[in-house]
Structure 1
């Protein structure tokens, strides 16, 4: 009996982020094949939001996110960043990690199950998501 992937939750991405996310996924295709393919799939299935307003509760780039890793039930607080801004010690995770690609576009209360590069399954639930307020 094989494991079937559960239905994926609906996700939303901001129009302003789509181009850069596609470029990142394409550029990483040779090095981070599994995660790049995962990110591409998430981009393709997302509803595109044209609104420019602040979207509390939606995980977008540079959001502060609290999620529960459903294996072990641990909660983590991270900022979802572009690869060049990632810093694990500062809890800034790249969109080019399996967790980053899984979180993008989710809303508070949503859970996603995904396969990690080693073939195991993982489940994350978004508990809080706040856009990072720019200081400019």
Structure 2
């Protein structure tokens, strides 16, 4: 799996991503338990290695565990609303995606207008753009 990320109109190999101290602890344990067995666990570990840790009171500015994220699939224009959750809470039919999936691991720490691009199954290029992020506490 090849990951390339962009921010706004400019292209960056890997933009700065943010993670709260609390999320960092939880996600580190998850990626360690996965032991790199899945593409999502390996990607999550890589993302955590480069993440900037911030206080929890800044968490509404970027994707965290529990965030509701609206993104656009650039290849087909389809807009999706998902909630990023822990594996035990994942339910694709309800729009809850696990942080251990490649899409979920790619979302963590991104800000509005950020783009992420990767080669998925069959080396098909995928790209999504973050349209909005809602703090889980603000969603009824």
TM-score class normalised by the smaller sequence: 0.7 to 0.9
Root-mean-square deviation (Å): 2.3
1:73 equivalent among 66, 70, 77: 77
Unpaired runs of at least 5, structure 2 = 6-12
Please give the alpha-carbon distance, in whole angstroms, between the structure 2 residues aligned to 1:37 and 1:30.
Answer: 5
How many residue pairs were aligned? 131
2:8 maps to which residue? Answer: none
TM-score by length of 1: 0.85
For 1:114, which of 107, 113, 118 is the aligned residue? 118
Would you tell me which structure has more helix in proportion to its own residues?
A: 2
TM-score, length basis structure 2: 0.83
Mean CA deviation greater in 106-115 or 73-82: 106-115
Which aligned runs of 4 or more in structure 1 are off by greater than 2 angstroms? Answer: 3-6, 54-57, 114-121
Segments of structure 1 that go 5 or more residues without pairing to the other structure are none
- Is it true that 1:8 corresponds to 2:14 in the alignment? yes
Residue 42 (structure 2) pairs with residue 37 (structure 1): yes
Structure 1's 80 and 56: CA in aligned 2 closer, same or farther, altered over 3 A?
A: same
Q: Please state if 1:82 is matched with 2:86.
A: yes
